[in-house]
Amino acid sequence: MTRRRGRQLPAIVGTRPRVLFVGINPSLRSAEVGHHFAGPGNPFWRLLHAARLIPTAFTYADDGRLPEHGLALTNIVPRATRAAAELTRAEFAAGRVQLARRIRRARPEVVAFVGDGGLSMLMAELATCVKYRLPVKVFILNNEYMGMVRQWQELTYESRYSNSYSDSLPDFIRLAEAYGWKGVRIGDEGDLDAGIQAMIDHDGPVMVDCLVAKDANCLPMIPSGAAHTEMLLYGDRVVGTMEDEAKALV
Ligand SMILES: Cc1ncc(C[n+]2csc(CCOP(=O)(O)OP(=O)(O)O)c2C)c(N)n1
Ligand SMILES: [Mg+2]
């Protein structure tokens, strides 16, 4: 464990990728095997194929082939930890500078930040994009929740929600416009294609506020303290309780 902690994973970024995926930092498992998103429960590779961004199914071992498909991957902080909470403010500050430099060099068509919560943690970077004239496209999957946290609370804490609903989110379109970005709101599935096209066509930074189901769960997941063989595939199979020993690990 100690040996793995502190290991780093390099970014995989070619020139002008279609999409640059930005993670927070690698897991210990990813650092151990030397590949991104290597956690057995991580749906990244499966979803990449399901979204038809890659023509064949990839595993983490294929991460080096992402540039062949115009895709790129990086983290805000390259150091692997067991949890994001172990990262320091200084690492985030350095990571932001590094990320801005990387984006400026790679000039990706799209930078994908997932989540209203994730964007809220980095919204000051809207100014960075203006400063460096970066035509970054941000696509927010806005469920008004810290969705992953809400999901844990629903499935393993008997729906006792605490601090996972964000009732103080900004109007992301007005926020974008305040920084001189173009804002596009997608509130209906029928507006999806036109919204994405407007995002791509605009020559400059664009923020898309895509309103999604507020309480959809992301599966599969492995409950804390459970084995990989106990991965949950369907939320309705969860009884809604968790052993004390497992709770202590969350
Ligand atoms: C800097 C930081 N703080 C806290 C966390 C813990 N965390 C993981 S997912 C998550 C919720 C993110 O919410 P959102 O970006 O809205 O995405 P959603 O799960 O709703 O798709 C949080 C708080 C983290 N990963 N990084
Ligand atoms: Mg969210």
pLDDT per residue over 104-153, tens digit each?
888 766 655 559 999 998 899 999 989 988 888 999 999 999 999 999 88
The whole-angstrom distance between residue 114's C-alpha and the CA centroid of its chain comes to 4
Second-level CATH architecture of 2-220: 3-Layer(aba) Sandwich (3.40)
Any idea which of 84-88, 154-158, 193-197 has the lowest mean pLDDT?
A: 154-158
Q: Note whether 201 and 184 are within 8 A (CB).
A: no
- Does 242 score more than 70 pLDDT? no
Nearest ligand to the C-alpha atom of residue 216: 1
The encoded tokens of residue 196 equal 């994405």
The proportion of the chain whose per-residue pLDDT surpasses 90, expressed as a percent, equals 56
Match 């690990």 to its residue by tokens. Answer: 249
- Does 33 score more than 60 pLDDT? yes
The proportion of the chain whose per-residue pLDDT surpasses 70, expressed as a percent, equals 89
Highest mean pLDDT pick, 86-95, 97-106, 216-225: 86-95
| C-alpha torsion angle, residues 91, 109, 137, 85 (rounded to 10) | -20
Say how far apart CA 125 and CA 176 lie, in whole Å. Answer: 11
Say how far apart CA 171 and CA 183 lie, in whole Å. Answer: 10
**Which of 7, 70, 68 has the alpha carbon at shortest distance from 38?**
7
Give the pLDDT of residue 184. Answer: 97
Q: 2 CA distance to ligand 2 centroid (A)?
A: 32
Task: Write the DSSP string, 158-185.
Answer: TT---S-B-TT---HHHHHHHTT-EEEE
Match 């629903």 to its residue by tokens. Answer: 154
Q: Could you check whether the bond before residue 220 is cis, i.e. omega within 30 degrees of 0?
A: yes
Q: Which residue's CA is the nearest one to ligand 1's atom 23?
A: 146
Q: Which residue's CA is the nearest one to ligand 1's atom 5?
A: 84
| DSSP at 219 | -
Q: 96 CA distance to ligand 1 centroid (A)?
A: 17
Mean pLDDT of 32-38: 94
Q: Which residue's CA is the nearest one to ligand 1's atom 17?
A: 115
Q: Which residue's CA is the nearest one to ligand 1's atom 20?
A: 147
How many C-beta neighbours within 10 Å does residue 37 have?
A: 21
Nearest ligand to the C-alpha atom of residue 22: 1
Give the pLDDT of residue 235. Answer: 67
Q: How confident is the model over 181-238, as pLDDT tens digits?
A: 999 999 999 999 999 999 989 989 999 999 999 999 888 787 777 777 777 777 666 6
Say how far apart CA 200 and CA 82 lie, in whole Å. Answer: 36
pLDDT category at 156 given cuts 50, 70, 90 is confident
Nearest ligand to the C-alpha atom of residue 120: 1
Give the pLDDT of residue 111. Answer: 55
Give this prediction's pTM: 0.62
Q: 146 CA distance to ligand 1 centroid (A)?
A: 6
Give the pLDDT of residue 110. Answer: 62
pLDDT category at 1 given cuts 50, 70, 90 is very low
Any idea which of 23-37, 148-162, 205-219 has the lowest mean pLDDT?
A: 148-162
- Ranges assigned E (strand) in 4-157: 19-23, 71-75, 110-112, 137-142
Map out the domains of the chain as residue ranges: 2-220, 221-250
Q: Note whether 111 and 100 are within 8 A (CB).
A: no
Q: Could you tell me which residues come within 8 angstroms of residue 138 by beta carbon, excluding any fewer than 6 positions away?
A: 111, 112, 113, 119, 205, 206, 207, 208
